[in-house]
Amino acid sequence: MSLSAKHRVAVLGASGYTGAELLRLLLTHPHVEIAALTADRHVGKDIAEVFPQFLDVGLPRLVSVDAVPFDSIDAVFCCLPHGTTQDIIKGIRTDHPTVRVFDLSADFRLQDVELYAKWYGEHRAPALQPEAVYGLVEVNRDKIRTAMLVAVPGCYPTSAQLPLYPLLKAGKILTEDIIVDAKSGVSGAGRSAKEGSLFTEVTEGIHAYGVANHRHRPEIEQGLSWAAGQPVVISFTPHLMPMSRGILSTMYVKLAPGVTADDLRTTLAQAYAGEPFVKVLPAGQAPQTRHVRGTNRLHIGVFADTLPGRAIVFGAEDNLTKGASGQALQCFNVAFGLPETLGLSGLALFP
Amino acid sequence: MSLSAKHRVAVLGASGYTGAELLRLLLTHPHVEIAALTADRHVGKDIAEVFPQFLDVGLPRLVSVDAVPFDSIDAVFCCLPHGTTQDIIKGIRTDHPTVRVFDLSADFRLQDVELYAKWYGEHRAPALQPEAVYGLVEVNRDKIRTAMLVAVPGCYPTSAQLPLYPLLKAGKILTEDIIVDAKSGVSGAGRSAKEGSLFTEVTEGIHAYGVANHRHRPEIEQGLSWAAGQPVVISFTPHLMPMSRGILSTMYVKLAPGVTADDLRTTLAQAYAGEPFVKVLPAGQAPQTRHVRGTNRLHIGVFADTLPGRAIVFGAEDNLTKGASGQALQCFNVAFGLPETLGLSGLALFP
Amino acid sequence: MSLSAKHRVAVLGASGYTGAELLRLLLTHPHVEIAALTADRHVGKDIAEVFPQFLDVGLPRLVSVDAVPFDSIDAVFCCLPHGTTQDIIKGIRTDHPTVRVFDLSADFRLQDVELYAKWYGEHRAPALQPEAVYGLVEVNRDKIRTAMLVAVPGCYPTSAQLPLYPLLKAGKILTEDIIVDAKSGVSGAGRSAKEGSLFTEVTEGIHAYGVANHRHRPEIEQGLSWAAGQPVVISFTPHLMPMSRGILSTMYVKLAPGVTADDLRTTLAQAYAGEPFVKVLPAGQAPQTRHVRGTNRLHIGVFADTLPGRAIVFGAEDNLTKGASGQALQCFNVAFGLPETLGLSGLALFP
Amino acid sequence: MSLSAKHRVAVLGASGYTGAELLRLLLTHPHVEIAALTADRHVGKDIAEVFPQFLDVGLPRLVSVDAVPFDSIDAVFCCLPHGTTQDIIKGIRTDHPTVRVFDLSADFRLQDVELYAKWYGEHRAPALQPEAVYGLVEVNRDKIRTAMLVAVPGCYPTSAQLPLYPLLKAGKILTEDIIVDAKSGVSGAGRSAKEGSLFTEVTEGIHAYGVANHRHRPEIEQGLSWAAGQPVVISFTPHLMPMSRGILSTMYVKLAPGVTADDLRTTLAQAYAGEPFVKVLPAGQAPQTRHVRGTNRLHIGVFADTLPGRAIVFGAEDNLTKGASGQALQCFNVAFGLPETLGLSGLALFP
């Protein structure tokens, strides 16, 4: 397929926030044709009835998953909640084996299906798990090139793994006592109507949730263990704060003997030199989620701690973009051999 | 100049919000080369020190206005505060007559320089005023094509004029008793440090300001008077509310005899048929600023009022985009004969 | 009953926002004993499990309405949704006729039960309607003193009626062309989980809703008609904006012949002289909802309009306090012959 | 002086946020007469011109510090910025030795004046430092009873010290590796006009600031060292987030051998049993800043960490109340032998 050809894609679950974000990005992609959109509760509607920002842009009407013409589809983005996802993807992989699947749910992220079962309930497509490739592009690019099923990483895991992966891999920090204090915007909770996501319950305040008990911890630990070459257990505390988008992970780490915070910054800068989306800030600069809002960027900052032998590493991203739909599109670009920044070159909407 | 060539542009006042927004858009424009950026207080700095979202995107360093190589520049976007703007633009127009100027300040918006003086202080370049073209593209497109100096409309005026212009022009509404109740985000106040723009002073509340005494009223009246072919005086009450971007103008108008709210919607739909940025919503739908955030779109809604003979017309825009930098870029595209949506095709960042 | 005695009160529907706000106020009231709290979905729980701000303050556990010891109760605050309210209040008024009822729902606000039926559905206790007193204290104080059933006014109606009532009564403004453009915080929608109340759907934007079709319009018109002594029809457009609390009503009115905006301000100042909660701001000052947040105050501002013969009147309140629970407590104080400010003397939490 | 008598107090610096918060509280205090308010930039004004929430409540006009009748004043609350504070307090303590001073600035918090000099500049009243009592009431109550100069603790230090003090004192946690990840609202930055405090710069995002370099760290370390009986060095990272009020400190600590997270909770519950303002939440519950907004409360939560031998301790407060003005008033109540909750019994404004 030539570079100028258009790949036909379907977006399953287009009425949720990751679906909408993906559409926003896909609409700027020169080599994508959005062939089908699904939303079970809104079959037959114009997507603009669900998301008025898409008024009059020529998108196809919402259909059910059954109505997607998978035979003429090159790639599927699956923005469905975990659980149902497994059955649908199993069906696609079985009946339409040439369709590449980019799954934004958690269903295929954990290689260990028993670990999956512990956090999410029994896995209904365990046989597919081995073929799933973890879509953390900067780490796993080569495998993604040929992957037919990409498990796009979670929002928190992306913000924690990208800053820590090169440090663990290079042995610059210890595997013990890694503390991830994460702050997230509300869009991570999706568009479903929950008391805890109401404006009145979220604005003007902050609180931790899922303390020592959040599903994204095993995913982070899986990635860090790959990097370290040994099992890593972390402390992970997510906080919900009054903003729509953004995750800031503040990470407290122990330096390997003889290593300084400046060394960490250098290691990261080298690891991500040439990467279009991961940027290491100059010394003294702490990243702000605002400056990556709506983009596929992740900004990293590194500081020496006041506690000797420790450092503080920040990772800031947009949970819906680099933490979900943007990264999914980045995986798509890699898988289809396209320039990695297509559809993803936008900079932050700030202020 | 061929379509594929790049036009060299300078952005004067790149360290303010309209400057940043313009850069965000220009960076996605295929036929623009950003040749110079100025910011008097930040000369010599990388723009990323002022706006970290521009980290590592290859923009030129900030210089003073004197250091801009106007000889090799095709267009200047002037994002400076009113007043100083006049002198600088006079200098450019005099010394570099082939440079097209797109002025985002209020300096050349009011054709009547005495009216200008009343609201902004004495005009220091009155001789230039006659050559300035008011840059409301959907209304003034033809004049903009050949304009050398475009006065880009203000944020409030855009949100009020675009919905009302066709209605007045077609005689569908009366010129009397037009009431514009406008609600704006805080970015309209710019980046200067003012007590009234502090987070703590703005969040969790709303208030009117400049009641019956706001500088944008004469600009709105000027445009509506052009449309009506007679002097129009309006009631205009702006409110400041806790959001960064967006203006919603709720407009209470009197229908001409025999005209219905549905007629207004039809008139508007016809007037803006084919326009890429102005969209008339279906009956029953009220526009939200969120759905045009970060875009050059303006969404219009029309409702019958409970008061007989009256209707309610809504205009929703992003004050920094369609209300400022986006519209400036739209003017640029028109003036240089480019497709009008270049650099402006992005959809709203929602949520 | 002596002034120092405590009145035993029950709060029905304590797990909603008006219930919580009422508790906050009642806990500072020297002559109130909170004898019972109900919340059907939370029977048996400590209220602090529902609203952690009440941790360890000695409130009774949540019970069902059936379990309230009405025989030993002096007053009931009914914070239930409309509809169910009617049956419960009918039961109380029948079986416990000495219990005073303060109903925060809409159920007994409209004197015309057919009008009620049109907006809310058939009324199931129409026989009770004639005994209900509309609890707009500053207007209806005398009737409230002896009322057994007080219909506490709605949030929007309070913000619009208090500023306009004295003006219509004194004939200072015309009854025609009254336009109420209202902006409300999200708490007005209550604590129920609705997509439209999610943080992500509300933050960073504004939109109108219920345009020309909101249930509070007939209630406002009822009050204004009483004031004018003739039927008044208004234009009413509510907007939802990103704040928890607060309503600002911006009202566009026509002056009676010979009357000025200053006259309006004088009329209002005289009408509310001595009132502890209604304050008329000096000329030139527009009220902010922030400055009455969490209080029973309503701030009024008056401006001449640019349109001749017109004025702009602002009313700012906290929708949960003066617009609901505070006003209910004010009614209670009046009904029980207590100083009107008991439990209501707090000033705004600002910033 | 009898309990019913009124103590005459002066508030220096009434035009800032801590001044306003103090006034809000003092106005509900039955034994306080507000005798003087100062604000250098607003001499002669009504405080309602500066803070409209105080409209018509009978407060004295703003004067300069020189005009305060210290001879008839019992207590001074000093809400001035550090630095100037020292000279003024020195003058008061010298010329009016019976006046009790409650200083909300940082000027007398650090016992070591050289440490003070390192972070704030040279101390101009070092001789006064030894008489200053650190006003963390729950820890220092006895000394405050007789103190003539109380250094009211900082906002961050209060949120970190109260949860950790009893744990260190009882030897339940180790002194090493204490990590305080704090999230603060914007009001902590005061009312001065700074770019970094603008709504547009703060909303919809989060970032750390003063990383490993914030003035409140030495103050926290001072208190924790007192508790531990040995020098304690901590890691302290403050973050700025989009809310007006509130601080949440998430603290990662190491358990002493054999100690569990439940033990920590028990230790804290015992330490604060009977305390009106410090509340330890049940197991499994993480505190939210919303639930203490506008109150003098501090809510503590304790969780076992996933890292063995570690626990997570949360402290949530309102930075302007328990973190500043409320605590100052609590100190005042203690110093004047009044019930500690006078003026401070209000519960959170939520939603």
Over B55-66, what HEC string results? CCCCCCCEECHH
Q: Are strands A278-280 and B234-240 parallel, antiparallel or unpaired?
A: unpaired
Q: What is the pLDDT of residues A206-223, one digit of tens each?
A: 999 999 999 999 999 999
* Residue B346 burial (CB count, 10 A): 23
Return the SS3 of D51.
Answer: coil
Alpha-carbon span C283 to C265, nearest angstrom: 8
Alpha-carbon span C227 to C163, nearest angstrom: 11
Closest by Cβ to D204, choosing from C28, C204, C294: C204
**pLDDT at B2 exceeding the cut of 70:** no
What would the mean pLDDT of B209-213 be, rounded to a whole number? Answer: 95
Nearest-5° Cα angle at B197, B193 to B200? 115
Average pLDDT, chain D: 97
Alpha-carbon span A29 to A10, nearest angstrom: 14
H helix runs in chain C, sequence order = 17-26, 47-50, 84-95, 113-120, 137-145, 155-169, 199-202, 216-228, 261-271, 326-335
Instruction: Give D181 to chain A, closest Cα distance, Å.
Output: 7
CA atoms within 13 A on the CB side of C266: 6
Query: Which residues, including other chains, have CB under 8 Å from residue C68's CB and lie 6 or more apart?
Result: C10, C12, C36, C38, C76
Instruction: Give A102 to chain C, closest Cα distance, Å.
Output: 25
Instruction: Give C293 to chain A, closest Cα distance, Å.
Output: 14
E-strand spans in A233-344?
A: 234-240, 247-254, 278-280, 298-304, 310-317
In the sheet that holds C62-63, the strands lie side by side as C62-63, C32-38, C7-12, C75-78, C100-103, C149-151, C132-134
Alpha-carbon span A105 to A149, nearest angstrom: 12
Inspect the interface and report whether the beta carbons of A200 and C197 lie closer than 8 Å: yes
Q: Are D149 and D103 in contact (CB under 8 A)?
A: yes
Catalytic-role residue among A78, A79, A155, A331: A155
Nearest in space to A335 (alpha carbons), one of A37, A102, A8, A103: A102
Q: Element (H or E) spanning B26, and its range?
A: helix B17-26
Model pLDDT, residue C84:
84
Residue of C nearest to A194 (CA): C193
Give B-chain residues touching C179 at CB under 8 angstroms: 179, 252, 307
Return the SS3 of A40.
Answer: helix
Residue of D nearest to B51 (CA): D201
Give A-chain residues touching C202 at CB under 8 angstroms: 199
In the sheet that holds D298-304, the strands lie side by side as D207-208, D234-240, D178-184, D247-254, D310-317, D298-304, D278-280
Alpha-carbon span B350 to B234, nearest angstrom: 33
Inspect the interface and report whether the beta carbons of C199 and A194 lie closer than 8 Å: no
Residue of D nearest to C51 (CA): D291
Residue of A nearest to D236 (CA): A306
Integer CA distances (angstroms), A54 to A186, B22, B295, in order? 22, 23, 12
| Catalytic center residues of D | 155
Instruction: Give B125 to chain C, closest Cα distance, Å.
Output: 29
- Residue C278, both tokens: 């209604």
Q: What is the pLDDT of residues D33-82, one digit of tens each?
A: 999 999 999 999 999 999 999 999 999 999 999 999 999 999 999 999 98
Closest by Cβ to C54, choosing from D51, D54, D347: D347
Query: Which residues, including other chains, have CB under 8 Å from residue D337's CB and lie 6 or more apart?
Result: D145
Inspect the interface and report whether the beta carbons of D291 and C52 lie closer than 8 Å: yes
Model pLDDT, residue C287:
98
What was the ipTM of the complex prediction? 0.97
Inspect the interface and report whether the beta carbons of A306 and D212 lie closer than 8 Å: yes
Model pLDDT, residue A4:
61
Instruction: Give A61 to chain C, closest Cα distance, Å.
Output: 22
Q: Are A288 and A349 in contact (CB under 8 A)?
A: no
Q: Are C278 and C315 in contact (CB under 8 A)?
A: no
What would the mean pLDDT of B51-56 be, rounded to a whole number? Answer: 98
Q: Element (H or E) spanning B75, and its range?
A: strand B75-78
Q: Are A47 and A16 in contact (CB under 8 A)?
A: no
- Residue A337, both tokens: 């051999």
Alpha-carbon span A348 to A338, nearest angstrom: 23
Helices and strands, counts by H and E, chain C: 10, 14
Q: Torsion over CA of B203, A198, A295 and A102, rounded to 10 degrees?
A: 180
Nearest in space to A297 (alpha carbons), one of D234, B56, B115: B56
Q: Element (H or E) spanning C240, and its range?
A: strand C234-240
Q: Element (H or E) spanning A132, and its range?
A: strand A132-134
Question: Which residue's structure tokens are 């309602």?
Answer: D48
Chain B residues within 8 Å of chain A (Cβ atoms): 17, 20, 24, 27-28, 51-57, 187, 191, 203-204, 244-245, 279, 281, 285, 287-288, 290-295, 299, 320, 345-351
Give A-chain residues touching D289 at CB under 8 angstroms: 205-207
pLDDT-flagged residues of chain C (< 50) = 1
Chain D residues within 8 Å of chain B (Cβ atoms): 17, 186-187, 191-195, 197-204, 242-244
* Residue C95 burial (CB count, 10 A): 10
Q: Are A293 and B349 in contact (CB under 8 A)?
A: yes
| Neighbouring subunits of A (3+ Cβ pairs under 8 A) | B, C, D
Q: How many residues belong to chain D?
A: 351
Nearest in space to D175 (alpha carbons), one of D289, D254, D78, D264: D254
pLDDT-flagged residues of chain A (< 50) = 1
Return the SS3 of C96.
Answer: coil
Q: Are strands D247-254 and D310-317 parallel, antiparallel or unpaired?
A: antiparallel
Q: What is the pLDDT along chain D (351 residues), one digit of tens a residue?
A: 455 689 999 999 999 999 999 999 999 999 999 999 999 999 999 999 999 999 999 999 999 999 999 999 999 999 999 888 999 999 999 999 999 999 999 999 999 999 999 999 999 999 999 999 999 999 999 999 999 999 999 999 999 999 999 999 999 999 999 999 999 999 999 999 999 999 999 999 999 999 999 999 999 999 999 999 999 999 999 999 999 999 999 999 999 999 999 999 999 999 999 999 999 999 999 999 999 999 999 999 999 999 999 999 999 999 999 999 999 999 999 999 999 999 999 999 999
Alpha-carbon span C330 to C295, nearest angstrom: 12
